[in-house]
Amino acid sequence: MASISAANNIIVEKLPRTDRKSSISKSGRHTRRCFYGRNRSRFSSITLCAVSEDTTKDVEFPPFLPSEVKNVKDLAAREMARRIQRLPVQFWRTYIQRPMVLVGASLGAAAAIDFAVLYPESVSSLVLIDASAYAEGTGNMAKFPKFLAYAGVSLLKSIPLRSYANLLAFHSISTSRIIDSMNVGRLHCLLPHWEEATIDFMRSGGYKVATRVKEVQKKTLVIWGENDKIVSKEYAQRLQNDIQESKLQYISECGHIPHVEKPDIVANIIIEFLKGKHAKCLDHET
């Protein structure tokens, strides 16, 4: 079972020009390489392949890239973009090599949906927890001038705002857990280049998979906290309706992150689903 979180980063290292030339001259093929770049947006984990310069004009780019990639004129850069693969795909092909149960929570559920549609051979079934599947990206924030975006991002990592976010995420939480959750949930904000990456993500328009939901062809379990204050439970029913082979399980007295707030219940629901006995799940209304 694999899971997608909301903290995947682009992994990039610069490929020296001399390496590109030698790989072309020796074998006509290129060694697959990992590249590292400064724009570390959510769900932009990718593996890039070294490229040749014999690219054609009519390039078909991966659907998860922003449309602006079509404006790139450099032939080598266009070919590199055409060969982009997301890092989880390479990991799956190298180490897992069999269909997996993919679990995603919140925006991670959107990534799981995207992955299952693009690479159906790698997924046996889906578990989506309080999925942020219908969000329209970053909306009007994409139009913010950079100075205003920086001000907003600085506020995002502030202790008061992070503490308030935890109050929204949980249905009921003690003061000590608020502090612990705030400290953990704020860690990624303190990483180098986090502000630049978040601004790039914001200005790009964000991550959207709403149009892919109906393309999911895998058996899917939708789990939802009945007291979710971040993503309304109305979307749970919509998700179940849009995915043909799906089942919906609400968890009472639970907020946006039931796998954290009520992990034992969530684990049991998933186990029953994987056994094919979802209809016989225990009543989790209490």
- Which positions are annotated as active-site residues? 106, 228, 256
First-last CA distance in the chain: 28
Q: Who contacts 193 (Cβ-Cβ below 8 Å, separation ≥6)? A: 38, 40
Residues 218 and 190 sit within 8 Å (Cβ to Cβ): no
Distance CA 189, CA 286 (A): 36
The rounded distance, in Å, linking the Cα atoms of 26 and 6 is 40
Cβ atoms 126, 116 nearer than 8 A: yes
Non-local CB neighbours of 265 within 8 Å, separated by 6+ positions: 251, 258, 284
Q: Which helix (H) or strand (E) holds 129?
A: strand 123-129
**79 vs 72: CA distance, rounded Å:** 10
d(CA 243, CA 127): 12
CB 121 within 8 A of CB 217: no
